[in-house]
Amino acid sequence: MTVFKPGNLVVLKSGGPIMTVDAVNTDIFDDNKVTGIVCVWFVGEKLQRVRFGQDAIEPARLQKTSSRKRKARLEEVAGEYKMVLDEMVGAMNAPADTESDVSREVAGQPESAKTVAEQSDTAPAPNDVAA
């Protein structure tokens, strides 16, 4: 008998949608005795959740995609990813606008401030003593 674990993909033996095993219910006194398998799946946007007997479900057989289709899809995804990365790099490497460069505005002095050299021309030297 097949052992099911949460996360396994299953279908009803009678057919139907592919479902995901959500939980495996066991007997309260014997963890090895399965009493039901809780499966979940979507019908449109509505989540369905039902408990089935272990004998009513089987592992889902997934269709294998050809290596050509898989390779084409990988190239498509890689191209999309590269395009996004190129846009990010372009934005990061764009030259800064020098007129509105915040770092220059912060580093600059206000017009009313005088430099030390300008102050020494008009103020008396500290060692000068009034006579």
Tokens of 103: 């770092």
The DSSP code sequence of 53-99 is -GGGEEE--PPPPPHHHHHHHHHHHHHHHHHHHHHHHHHHHSPP-GG
So what's the pLDDT on residue 122? Answer: 56
Residue 39, number of CB atoms within 10 A of its CB: 26
Q: Is 106 helix (H, G, I), strand (E, B) or coil?
A: helix
Facing residues of 49 across strands?
A: 40
Q: For the chain, give the number of residues.
A: 131
So what's the pLDDT on residue 78? Answer: 75
pLDDT band, residue 83 (cuts 50/70/90): confident
CA distance 92 to 47: 43
CA distance 13 to 22: 18
pLDDT by residue (tens digit) across 49-63?
A: 999 999 999 999 877
pLDDT band, residue 40 (cuts 50/70/90): very high
pLDDT band, residue 13 (cuts 50/70/90): very high
